[in-house]
């Protein structure tokens, strides 16, 4: 009952946050400077044609009615037609969503693998150069703004050492053959995903190192060493296994940051994904496209936060007790 109560509260809170974000999304794009009607209505159109276009896009309705229609449509994933392309927004987002998911998955897997591995390695080499290097590089990556690292990589690989593609998801024209296309996509993925790994591995490495050092100081580890158990078995079968619950929690808690980081990366590296779509739609005053992309990203972040809360409540019962549940 305790966890069920905690879960219901987290779900209700997520729904409330989604409602607030959707309202903010509606108001924000209408407060921006510029007239979106100029994007869809040609001055040379007849009065009847202009009125028909306004009716088609719902611009002839009062603002409150537009808001109600906007909420009901987004909840059905009916995001309307793009002002710029005249195509359904959801269809355009579905075309770009796989690219965003690929970037997100590569970033998340790379960051978790590199960060956890370096954290374990640093803990295993306490007070040695390896630990100092991991801690120093982790703190540097954590402190430096992510976009600065990405712009630096753009300069390095786009000008001084142009061996990697710095924009796009595929070469133009695309190569022939399924394998060639797959390799070309991976080649274009290296720099965006790699930059995200460089930005995010520091917090993972530092957290893993600290939890591993705490585990290695426990009595059962001292006993295992006294029994002559091999160092590798102690490190991976005993210490690492005992710190897996908080590391799993960290994985889920890092999901929202990974989602937002992928969006920023798409803008910098011109990755053909949802984040780039949001930026282009905002610059062109394309309300339906911008609102649809913003909604999709916000929904992903909220779901990620909800998963993190659930994982945290499962790992640490004190969290759900503090939230009002019963252990």
pLDDT in tens, 135-188: 999 899 888 888 888 989 988 888 888 888 888 888 878 888 888 889 999 999
Q: Hunting for tokens 């290296």 — which residue is that?
A: 190
- CA-nearest of 212, 272, 291, 278 to 244 is 212
With beta carbons less than 8 A apart as the criterion, state whether 295 and 278 touch: no
CA pair distance 65, 137, nearest whole angstrom? 53
How far apart CA 108 and CA 240 sit, in angstroms, is 20
For CATH 1.10.3720.10, list the domain ranges present in the chain: 90-313
List pLDDT tens digits, range 80-94. 888 888 889 999 999
Q: What angle do CA 203, 215, 105 make, to 5 degrees?
A: 35
Euclidean distance between CA atoms 232 and 241, whole angstroms: 12
Distances from the Cα of 227 to the Cα of 200, 221, 230, 234, 244, angstroms: 38, 10, 9, 11, 24
**Cα 71 from Cα 77, distance rounded (Å):** 10
Asked if 41 and 83 touch (Cβ cutoff 8 Å), the reply is no
Question: How many C-beta atoms surround the C-beta of residue 162 within 10 A?
Answer: 10
Which residue positions in the chain have pLDDT lower than 50? Answer: 1, 325-327
- The crossing angle, in degrees rounded to 10, of helices 287-315 and 89-124 is 40
* pLDDT given at position 236: 80
Asked whether the CA dihedral 188, 190, 191, 197 is positive or negative, the reply is positive
Placement of tokens 């989602």 in the chain: 259
| Predicted pLDDT at 56 | 64
| Torsion angles phi and psi, residue 88, rounded to 5 | -60, 130
- The confidence score (pLDDT) of residue 84 equals 82
pLDDT of residue 326: 44
Nearest residue to 242 (alpha-carbon basis) of 125, 111, 123: 123
CA 50: distance to chain centroid?
Answer: 40
320 in Cβ contact with 327 (< 8 Å): yes
Spatial distance between the Cα atoms of 72 and 223, rounded to a whole number of angstroms: 62
Q: What pLDDT score was predicted for residue 327?
A: 41
Which CATH number is 90-313 given? 1.10.3720.10
Q: How far apart are CA 159 and CA 101, in angstroms?
A: 29
Residue pair 289/277 in contact by the 8 Å Cβ criterion: yes
Give which of 17, 47, 39 is closest to 283, Cα–Cα. 39
């Amino acid at each position: 009952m305790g966890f069920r109560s905690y879960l219901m509260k987290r779900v209700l809170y997520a729904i409330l946050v989604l409602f607030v974000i959707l309202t903010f999304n509606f108001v924000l794009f209408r407060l921006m400077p510029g007239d979106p009607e100029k994007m869809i209505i040609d001055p040379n159109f007849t009065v009847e044609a202009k009125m028909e276009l306004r009716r088609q896009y719902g611009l002839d309705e009062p603002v409150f009615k537009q808001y109600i229609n906007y909420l009901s449509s987004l909840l059905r994933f009916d995001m309307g037609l793009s002002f710029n392309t005249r195509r359904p927004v959801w269809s355009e987002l579905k075309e770009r969503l796989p690219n965003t998911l690929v970037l997100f998955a590569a970033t998340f897997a790379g960051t978790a693998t590199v960060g956890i591995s370096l954290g374990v390695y640093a803990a295993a080499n306490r007070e040695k150069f390896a630990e100092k290097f991991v801690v120093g590089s982790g703190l540097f990556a954590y402190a430096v703004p992510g976009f600065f690292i990405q712009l630096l990589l753009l300069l390095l690989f786009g000008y001084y050492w142009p061996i990697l593609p710095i924009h796009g998801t595929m070469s133009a024209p695309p190569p022939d053959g399924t394998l060639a296309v797959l390799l070309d996509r991976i080649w274009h993925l290296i720099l965006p995903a790699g930059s995200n790994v460089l930005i995010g591995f520091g917090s993972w490495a530092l957290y893993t190192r600290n939890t591993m050092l705490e585990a290695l100081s426990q009595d059962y580890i001292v006993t295992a060493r006294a029994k002559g158990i091999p160092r590798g078995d102690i490190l991976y079968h005993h210490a690492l296994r005992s710190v897996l619950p908080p590391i799993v929690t960290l994985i889920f808690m890092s999901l929202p940051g990974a989602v937002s980081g992928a969006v920023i990366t798409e803008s910098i590296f011109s990755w053909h994904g949802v984040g780039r779509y949001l930026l282009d739609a905002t610059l062109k005053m394309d309300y339906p496209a911008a609102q649809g992309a913003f909604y999709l990203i916000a929904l992903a972040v909220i779901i990620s936060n909800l998963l993190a809360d659930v994982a945290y409540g499962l790992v640490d019962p004190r969290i759900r007790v503090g939230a009002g549940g019963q252990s």
